[in-house]
């Protein structure tokens, strides 16, 4: 039983998945914090594109 826990603790397989999940969690957190600013930026960007295209 002790060997199982030692091998489990030292096993590095699957760490990449944990790293990716942590990075995604941080990015989602940042996106939530800056949601209003991102929305304002996107609205301004699309308004600018629409005005330059002639109001399609």
Distance CA 25, CA 18 (A): 10
Question: Cα(36)–Cα(41) distance, rounded to whole angstroms?
Answer: 9
For residue 23, the model assigns a pLDDT of 96
- What is the total count of domains within the chain? 1
Q: Provide the sign of the torsion angle of the four alpha carbons 28, 34, 39, 44, taken in this order.
A: negative
For residues 7 and 4, give the distance between their C-alpha atoms in angstroms, rounded to a whole number. 5
2-42 pLDDT, tens digit each: 888 788 777 777 777 888 899 999 999 999 999 999 999 99
pLDDT the model gives residue 30? 96
Where helices occur in the chain by DSSP H, the ranges are 2-10, 15-33, 35-53
Place of tokens 């594109």: 49
pLDDT at 29: 96
Range of the domain at 35: 1-53
């Amino acid at each position: 039983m002790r060997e199982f826990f030692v091998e489990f603790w030292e096993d590095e397989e699957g760490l990449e998945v944990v790293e990716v999940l942590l990075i995604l969690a941080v990015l989602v957190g940042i996106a939530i914090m800056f949601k209003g600013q991102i929305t304002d930026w996107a609205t301004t960007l699309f308004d600018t594109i629409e005005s330059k295209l002639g109001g399609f």
